[in-house]
Chains A and B, each alone.
Chain A
Amino acid sequence: MPPALSIHGLRKTYGPVVAVEQLDLEVGEGECFGLLGPNGAGKTTTIEICEGLIRPDAGEVVVLGRRWDRDERELRERLGVSLQETQLAEKLTVQETLELFRSFYRRRQPVDDVIDAVQLGEKRRARVGHLSGGQKQRLALACALVGDPDLFFLDEPTTGLDPQSRRQLWDMIDSFQERGRTVVITTHYMEEAERLCDRVAIVDHGRVIALGRPRALIASLGAQHVVEFAVADAISLEAVTLSSLPGVLGARSEDGRWLLQAAEVHTAVPALLDHLARRGAALTELRTHTPTLEDVFVALTGRHLRDG
């Protein structure tokens, strides 16, 4: 089966700024694929090239076995798109907006079905300007769903939403994927990528720096836990010493805090406390968490996803 999306040697510059540099990806049919990275990593440029909205400087993009320069119209019929920060017409109602978008497609879903699917039944006659942020985002999703797409591109669909709205949106993306359709999503929320995506590509400075299933990427850290702590000023600790503590696999500091990758919390933490007591260092902060894609990103780049 041919891949739903394949990209080779993609490159795009804006003047002196390189947005995408030598990017390769392949997304299988029926897969939910995530592009994860900080702001400015090139995620939006990449996805908009795939959507045929931006022309790349170099590289090859094949979507659903077709190319933009030859089959634009055909591709538009089969793609669903949710752009970052689109404001739909405020004066139109939910139903009118969907009827408009539906009229563009040859293959389409009944408006009522789509309204039910995104749980906007009660807002059917409400004007777009009166919807909440989460409802607007669900409507944006619905505008793509009325075209009954085979491949759905979502660019940061949950940015700025409250946790409940975000979970609602995730459920909708799930049910779309359950019908065997392909989803490509960009996000800088690692929990979103872990929750939704079969595979993720971590993108930084326009390149893919890690690719795989979220679990596998996290497991590649070798750590079961991450121990975060901070000590009172004027005490200097050394990464080498901390790394050699029992149960600790690696140590690094950032913003005045230390992060230890630990195989087992119950051996690493007592050893750490022992060590700090010997150095006369007073703890000001201590917590542990299980590693996330964020830790993978930090381990690869030394920066946080949200630092940009």
Chain B
Amino acid sequence: MGEPSVRRSWREHPLLHLTLCRYREFVREPEALFWTFVFPVLLAAGLGLAFRSKPPDVSRVGVLAGPLGETTAGALRADRGLDVRLYDDSAGGAALRTGRIAVLVVPVTADSVIYRFDESREEARVARLLADDALERARGRGEMVIGTDQLVRERGSRYIDFLLPGLLAMNLMGTGVWGTGFAVVDQRRKRLLKRLVATPMVRGHYLASFLFSRLGLLVLEVGVLVGFGALVFGVPVRGSIGALVLLSVLAGVMFGGLGLLLAARPRTIEGASGMMNLALLPMWVLSGVFFSSANFPDFLQPFIQALPLTASVDAFRAHMLEGASLAMLGPEVVLMLAWTVGSFGLALRLFRWQ
């Protein structure tokens, strides 16, 4: 054999090789490509076309604040089927666009109002009828309230607009957690982890390679889904591309770290699968991917707001639909950073190498 070499260039850095291995293993698995890239697009297409909206038990109605705002809101609150909140002009518009309210009631005079809503959403049509009814009842059936409809159909207020940022976050969670977790547990089961630990490999490099490999893949994941939404449904991206990239990186790395944490202990695929389902299921339901998390009762809200998926769904939605900048997304970004650092650090401590 030849002389042992001592020089080391960046091309021979273990982190690069570990990361390359992650990529190679991923792209050489055709099923993984399908589930990562094609499946979410199919889901978005199916839901966007067929599933128009989900009528909630309570219709959420906004009232434009002003001299008549409080009276109008009081009249509407008499109907227990309505959840009424006061908004100023810009907040009301934003709430309407992001689906937090189904209709915005704008009081004009004591006996006339304007209803702003998207008539293509069943939920919005129902809310408009209920609101109209409640206002008439407040005045006694005899006196009509003159309601004028102002149809809002700008891009950003349809169900697909609401849905796509949620799917984006959910997909990043799925590929991050499952992709990372299964790879780790598979290597542990095959004792490859133990073999790696028997080399001088730096353990942090191994874990970091999973986060690095997420970066390249998520550019594709996000690009495919956002591009599809923009081209086929005209879903807006109102925030800056730079902020979208940063949010995606943050979400991707955060869910990768969560995957490492969930896979830190289990020895079998079944064990890991159980752990991941346990962690992910509440988020699928509660975090507001398919319908607004505001539908859940108030006592659950602090828990829901602390979930990593809620933070990323809210951030993507606010960025794409309202054009929020990173500075405006401060609370979500801080929460996501905390999850990233916490889960990566905890994974490194708890990790079972053998």
Residues of A within 8 A of B (CB): 51-53, 73, 76-77, 79, 81, 83, 85-89, 91-92, 96, 99-110, 113-114, 117, 127, 143, 147-148
Contacts and interface: CB of A to CB of B under 8 A. Distances in A.
Of listed B13, B16, B24, B187, residue having the most chain A CB within 10 A: B24
Contacts of B198: 51-53, 76, 79, 81, 83
A148 B29 CA distance: 33
Given A51-B198, A77-B200, A89 B1 contact: no
23 contacts: A51-B198, A53-B194, A77-B200, A81-B199, A83-B195, A86-B194, A86-B195, A87-B191, A91-B25, A91-B29, A96-B20, A103-B12, A104-B14, A104-B200, A106-B6, A106-B8, A107-B4, A107-B6, A108-B5, A109-B1, A114-B1, A147-B199, A148-B4
B190 A96 contact: no
Contacts of B29: 91
A100 B200 contact: no
Nearest to A101: B199
Nearest to A72: B200
B201 interface: yes
B25 A92 contact: yes
Contact of A108 (B4, B16, B18): B4
Contacts of A73: 200
A179 B20 CA distance: 33
A76 B200 contact: yes
Contacts of B14: 100, 103-104
B200 A92 contact: no
Interface of B: 1-2, 4-6, 8, 12-14, 16-18, 20-21, 24-25, 28-29, 187, 190-192, 194-195, 197-201, 354
B21 to A, nearest CB: 6
Contact of B28 (A81, A91, A103, A105): A91
A158 to B, nearest CB: 18
Given A86-B190, A110-B5, A114-B1, A104 B201 contact: yes
Contact of A96 (B8, B21, B195): B21
Contacts of B191: 83, 85-87
Contacts of B194: 53, 83, 86
A127 B25 CA distance: 11
Contacts of B20: 96, 100
Contacts of B192: 86-89
B267 to A, nearest CB: 14
B1 A117 contact: yes
A109 B200 contact: no
A110 B2 contact: yes
B18 A100 contact: yes
A92 B19 CA distance: 12
A40 to B, nearest CB: 19
Contacts of A89: 21, 25, 187, 192
A257 B199 CA distance: 48
